[in-house]
């Protein structure tokens, strides 16, 4: 029997490889502009026809190619970027597999003109379906002019799978944005069907972001900067105002290369956790610099997924960087009523040793209690009615003591906290949601968000009673428009809003200018707050001005209260506890939800019977 194994002809092998590298016109755009970047171009022009289905043309002023390289560049595994296997570990260029041009030439009609600075004449080469049709000397400017026509002309099955022009063009835009953001010093033009879509002049990162995403974004960018031995981070994060329902502008770059990294993405999102509603996601433009020996870029054919050596430690660095950035501009609320503790997150500086994050002990873990255990139903959670009696007789038992009824007037005499006779009240946070503390009759459980809502509400109402105005200047004034009906209602709220710390003025008809917001404001979005106020007002829920104040305090408290999932420092729990019990209504939120409950010691005891 004769041998049956045969090598595939190059043209077929190239077509198969092309399937990996070139999925759509956007892949062609990506490969070509990355080559231009690698060629040291300072200017790149991209011309597209019919979302790239008819034409993708990339013209650069880079180093160009010699006559021989011009021909060689279309061979598979032909690359000028890797000489030895060691080079693989020190990749700083975009390309290195030497597959792109071979793949593109396998599935399209390609024409390239290229000339090096030192050469008199350049070369022109035409390749169709991997076959060189012609190569000749030609007079042309320095750089490379690459035309890709009729992509998948010889692979109808793949051509059929191309999406509508709008989708394919969106993909092209995405690829261009990534390269453009990573290389703000390179001028770029994008022309689609004879219209300029981008005309980007060279500049810095911030200017490039503004050129790509519009002037408006500028005031919503917070710059971040971290320098550790393991990783450098620079770039910008978006304030909550520019968060989007479906993925904002989200970009990670490593050593000037775009990357996707779901784990690091999570580190960013987590840092926004108490600032953005769960269905919104933040915008960010983060540029990482790391030693090439600590990353592995070769795990994915299109090279957007990258593996790092110490991902857990980097996760922490990213998380802290973002938190710091958000804190810097006061976007983050502090629930600290008396002093400013800032963020007690360890900040890793250059040359410090970085340990992986510690494992948190789950205080909730009970190895003996199964879900639906009969015991759990026996535990009844009673509303606290006489909380002031909770601590009676506990003074010397190393547990909190609460003063009794006659002492309740907030912060009377020179005691300004609610414990007495106890040095260290005990608090434990459960599941980022509850504060636990032992009391005389058992275990007190406080809902952290509801407690904070109550505290803020009381605080807002009392500020509204004062004559003083607590205005705060903001760096980024914002104007809000209303329809005439709504504006009549809003106008009346302005004095109260000012007392709380909003610096607002009426500008022209039906508009206000917000020049400042209170320091502890979380959402930063007065418009949303006022919109929800107007919603209640439409339902006729209040008539008197007193009602209006209460309603305003309520929407503000709801918007600014800490969320579930916020990990609390010991001081923060103390402050919530003190603040809650300094008020007159610690048991229920202004809208009537239970804040505090106690699992009685009897209930605890039955669990062990």
- For ligand ADP, the closer CB: 100 or 209: 100
Question: Are the CB atoms for 224 and 235 separated by under 8 Å?
Answer: yes
Give the number of C-alpha atoms closer than 13 A to the C-alpha of residue 192, restricted to the C-beta side: 17
> Does the footprint of Mg ion cover residue 62 (CB under 5 A)?
no
Among 224, 348, 336, 340, which residue's Cα sits nearest to residue 282? 224
- For ligand ADP, the closer CB: 117 or 411: 117
Residue 64 binding: pick among Mg ion, ligand ADP, none (C-beta 5-8 Å cut-off by kind): ligand ADP
Among 60, 168, 324, 453, contact with ligand ADP (rule: CB under 6 A): 60
Measure the CA–CA gap between 287 and 227, rounded to whole angstroms. Answer: 12
Measure the CA–CA gap between 360 and 288, rounded to whole angstroms. Answer: 28
- For ligand ADP, the closer CB: 81 or 389: 81
> Does the footprint of ligand ADP cover residue 36 (CB under 6 A)?
yes
> Does the footprint of ligand ADP cover residue 144 (CB under 6 A)?
yes
- Is 66 in a helix, a strand, or coil? coil
> Does the footprint of ligand ADP cover residue 594 (CB under 6 A)?
no
User: Phi/psi at 495 (nearest 5 deg)?
Assistant: -60, -40
Question: Are the CB atoms for 217 and 210 separated by under 8 Å?
Answer: yes
b/e per residue 293-317 (b: at least 16 CB within 10 A):
eebebeeeeebeebebeeeebbbbb
Contact range with ligand ADP by CB under 6 A, out of 63-71, 423-431, 549-557, 594-602:
63-71
Among 52, 95, 122, 325, contact with ligand ADP (rule: CB under 6 A): 95
Question: Are the CB atoms for 31 and 21 separated by under 8 Å?
Answer: yes
- For Mg ion, the closer CB: 80 or 150: 80
Q: What is the distance between the terminal CA atoms of the chain, rounded to a whole angstrom?
A: 82
For residue 459, the minimal CB distance to Mg ion (Å) is 60
Q: What residues form DSSP beta bridges with 58?
A: 46, 146
> Does the footprint of ligand ADP cover residue 31 (CB under 6 A)?
yes
> Does the footprint of Mg ion cover residue 100 (CB under 5 A)?
yes
- Is 187 in a helix, a strand, or coil? strand
Describe the crossing of helices 545-560 and 448-465 by its angle, rounded to 10 degrees.
140
> Does the footprint of ligand ADP cover residue 62 (CB under 6 A)?
yes
Residue 25 binding: pick among Mg ion, ligand ADP, none (C-beta 5-8 Å cut-off by kind): none
Residue 450 binding: pick among Mg ion, ligand ADP, none (C-beta 5-8 Å cut-off by kind): none
> Does the footprint of Mg ion cover residue 95 (CB under 5 A)?
yes
- For Mg ion, the closer CB: 297 or 463: 297
Among 321, 320, 332, which residue's Cα sits nearest to residue 287? 321
For residue 181, the minimal CB distance to ligand ADP (Å) is 20
> Does the footprint of ligand ADP cover residue 401 (CB under 6 A)?
no
| Angle (CA) 492 494 500, round 5° | 130
- For Mg ion, the closer CB: 34 or 603: 34
How many angstroms separate the Cα of 6 from the Cα of each of 3, 17, 103, 438? 8, 18, 21, 78
> Does the footprint of ligand ADP cover residue 27 (CB under 6 A)?
no
> Does the footprint of ligand ADP cover residue 79 (CB under 6 A)?
yes
> Does the footprint of ligand ADP cover residue 78 (CB under 6 A)?
yes
Contact range with Mg ion by CB under 5 A, out of 100-108, 438-446, 515-523, 536-544:
100-108
> Does the footprint of Mg ion cover residue 35 (CB under 5 A)?
yes
Which 8-state DSSP code applies to residue 359?
A: P
User: Per the structure block, which two tokens stand in for 331?
Assistant: 């976007």
Measure the CA–CA gap between 149 and 76, rounded to whole angstroms. Answer: 20
Q: Where are the beta strands (DSSP E) in 250-355?
A: 250-254, 257-259, 284-289, 295-296, 307-308
Residue 144 binding: pick among Mg ion, ligand ADP, none (C-beta 5-8 Å cut-off by kind): ligand ADP
- Ranges within 441-470 binding ligand ADP (CB under 6 A): none
Residue 322 binding: pick among Mg ion, ligand ADP, none (C-beta 5-8 Å cut-off by kind): none
For residue 170, the minimal CB distance to ligand ADP (Å) is 24
The residue behind tokens 């769960």 is 278
- For ligand ADP, the closer CB: 35 or 520: 35
Contact range with Mg ion by CB under 5 A, out of 96-104, 139-147, 236-244, 337-345:
96-104
> Does the footprint of ligand ADP cover residue 410 (CB under 6 A)?
no
Contact range with ligand ADP by CB under 6 A, out of 61-69, 232-240, 249-257, 535-543:
61-69
Question: Are the CB atoms for 577 and 485 separated by under 8 Å?
Answer: no
The residue behind tokens 């008396």 is 338
- Residues of the shown chain interacting with ligand ADP in the complex, contacts defined by CB under 6 A: 31, 35-36, 39, 60, 62-65, 73, 78-81, 95-101, 144
- Residues of the shown chain interacting with Mg ion in the complex, contacts defined by CB under 5 A: 35, 95, 100
């Amino acid at each position: 029997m004769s041998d049956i194994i045969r090598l595939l002809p190059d043209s077929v092998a190239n077509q198969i490889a092309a399937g990996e590298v070139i999925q759509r016109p956007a892949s062609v755009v990506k490969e070509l502009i990355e080559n231009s970047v690698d060629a040291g171009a300072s200017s790149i022009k991209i011309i597209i026809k019919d979302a790239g289905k008819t034409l993708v043309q990339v013209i650069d002023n880079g180093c160009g190619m010699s006559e021989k390289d011009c021909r060689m560049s279309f061979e598979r595994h032909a690359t000028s970027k890797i000489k030895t296997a060691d080079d693989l570990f020190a990749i700083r260029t975009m390309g290195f597999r030497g597959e792109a041009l071979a793949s593109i030439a396998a599935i399209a009609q390609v024409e390239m003109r290229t000339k090096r600075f030192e050469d008199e004449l350049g070369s022109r080469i035409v390749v169709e379906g991997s076959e060189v049709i012609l190569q000749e000397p030609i007079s042309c400017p320095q750089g490379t002019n690459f035309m890709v026509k009729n992509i998948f002309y010889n692979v109808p099955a793949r051509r059929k799978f191309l999406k509508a022009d709008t989708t394919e063009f969106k993909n092209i835009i995405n690829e261009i944005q990534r390269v453009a953001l990573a290389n703000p010093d390179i001028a770029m033009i994008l022309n689609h069907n004879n219209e300029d879509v981008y005309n980007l002049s060279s500049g810095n990162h911030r200017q490039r972001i503004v050129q790509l995403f519009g002037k408006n974004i500028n005031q919503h960018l917070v710059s971040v900067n971290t320098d550790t031995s393991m990783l450098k981070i620079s770039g910008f994060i978006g304030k909550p105002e520019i968060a989007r329902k479906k993925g904002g502008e989200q970009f990670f770059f490593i050593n000037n290369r775009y990357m996707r990294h779901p784990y690091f993405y999570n580190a960013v999102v987590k840092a926004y956790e108490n600032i953005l509603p769960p269905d919104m996601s933040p915008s960010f433009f983060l540029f990482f610099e790391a030693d090439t020996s600590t990353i592995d870029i070769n795990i994915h054919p299109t090279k957007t997924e990258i593996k790092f050596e110490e991902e857990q430690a980097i996760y922490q660095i990213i998380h802290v960087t973002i938190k710091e950035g958000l804190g810097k501009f006061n976007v983050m609320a502090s629930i600290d009523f008396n002093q400013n503790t800032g963020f007690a997150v360890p900040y890793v500086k250059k040359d410090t040793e970085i340990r992986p994050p510690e494992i948190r002990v789950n205080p909730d873990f009970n190895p003996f209690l199964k879900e639906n255990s009969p015991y759990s139903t026996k535990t009844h959670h009673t509303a606290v009615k006489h909380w002031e009696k909770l601590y009676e007789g506990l003074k010397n038992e190393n547990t909190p003591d609460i003063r009794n009824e006659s002492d309740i007037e907030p912060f009377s005499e020179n005691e300004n906290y609610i414990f007495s006779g106890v040095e260290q009240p005990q608090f434990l946070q459960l599941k980022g949601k509850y504060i636990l503390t032992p009391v005389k009759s058992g275990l007190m459980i406080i809902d952290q968000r509801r407690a904070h809502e109550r505290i803020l509400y009381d605080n807002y109402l009392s500020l509204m009673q004062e004559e003083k105005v607590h205005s705060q200047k903001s760096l980024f004034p914002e104007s809000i428009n209303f329809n005439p009906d709504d504006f009549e209602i809003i106008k009346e709220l302005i004095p109260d809003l000012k007392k709380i710390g909003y610096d607002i003025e009426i500008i022209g008809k039906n508009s206000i200018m917000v020049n400042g917001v209170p320091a502890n404001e979380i959402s930063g979005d007065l418009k949303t707050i006022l919109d929800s106020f107007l919603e209640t007002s439409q339902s006729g829920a209040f008539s008197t001005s007193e009602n209006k104040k209460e309603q305003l305090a309520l929407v503000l408290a709801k918007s600014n209260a800490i969320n579930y999932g916020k990990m609390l420092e010991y001081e923060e729990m103390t402050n919530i506890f003190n603040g809650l019990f300094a008020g007159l209504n610690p048991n229920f939120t202004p809208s009537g939800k239970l804040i505090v409950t106690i699992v009685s010691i009897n209930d605890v005891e039955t669990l062990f019977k």
